[in-house]
Amino acid sequence: MKPKLIVLTGAGISAESGLRTFRDSDGLWEGYDVYEVASPDGWAKDPALVQEFYNMRRRDVRNARPNAAHIGLAELEQDFDVRIITQNIDDLHERAGSTKVLHLHGEILKMRSIHDTSTLFPVEGDIAMGDLAPDGGQFRPHVVWFGEAVTMIEPAILEIVQADLFVLIGSSLNVYPAAGLMDYLRPDVPRYIIDKKIPPVKGHGYHLIEKPATEGIMELKERLQEYITAG
């Protein structure tokens, strides 16, 4: 049995692939007020604007490439049972070769009807107003907007409580309920944080790697090799 390595990733890991972090200090994302383009109220007010915003984000994701951090996590599957819980809506973990990825906030390359949250369809190009699902509902991006339930949080908790090791990469821990997942770790679980600016965390015993994700993954691999040797 390989040790179970649970990894929680945020926008910082994809930033080095050229994808902007979700929210900068001015509360804007690519010049848009996030609540205008990422909330049910924004959708009700101007669905065409929301649709075009995510069409642009989807093009950005398709043009991006996995970086060394994504690839490094996929390579860790040789020695660990790696389960990635990501706050990101891109598919860079999958393209890098990771086989077990749980998306907390949805996936931008999938869409669903406004009437049905569970039946998902792949997005080939853009989603246009007037593109309808089989149930007659307008297609929308399969992403979790502010004010919507994070339905994948319970499956994520089930992964966290089984962790033998835990790694946090590129998350500011500002967005809940994702930021509360670490509260479910068993007290004796070794835990690592990779970030160019370490976020505030509760408790002690964290191994801090204050570097960008692509550099920090190298140091993480060295430390995990020590864990395997000691084990």
Annotated catalytic sites, by residue?
Answer: 105
Contacts of 111 (CB under 8 A, 6+ apart): 120, 121, 122, 123, 127, 139, 140, 141, 142
Q: Helix 68-75 vs helix 213-230: angle between axes, to the nearest 10 degrees?
A: 20
Sheet holding 165-169, edge to edge: 101-103, 81-86, 4-9, 165-169, 191-194, 206-209
- Cα–Cα dist 151/80, whole Å: 27
Q: From residue 226, give the alpha-carbon distance in Å to each of 75, 187, 218, 222, 229.
A: 16, 20, 13, 7, 5
